[in-house]
Amino acid sequence: EDKVVQSPLSLVVHEGDTVTLNCSYEVTNFRSLLWYKQEKKAPTFLFMLTSSGIEKKSGRLSSILDKKELFSILNITATQTGDSAVYLCAVVISGTYKYIFGTGTRLKVLA
Partner 1 sequence: KAGVTQTPRYLIKTRGQQVTLSCSPISGHRSVSWYQQTPGQGLQFLFEYFSETQRNKGNFPGRFSGRQFSNSRSEMNVSTLELGDSALYLCASSLDLQIETQYFGPGTRLLVL
Q: How far is the CB of 99 from partner 1 (least distance, A)?
A: 6
Q: Which residue's CB is nearer to partner 1, number 1 or number 69? A: 1
Query: Do the Cβ atoms of 6 and 21 come closer than 8 Å?
Result: yes
Binding residues for partner 1, rule: CB under 8 A, are 31-32, 34, 36, 41-45, 48, 88, 90, 92, 96-104
What pairing do the DSSP bridges indicate for beta strands 10-14 and 105-110?
parallel
Q: How far is the CB of 72 from partner 1 (least distance, A)?
A: 14
d(CA 96, CA 12): 37
Q: How far is the CB of 29 from partner 1 (least distance, A)?
A: 13
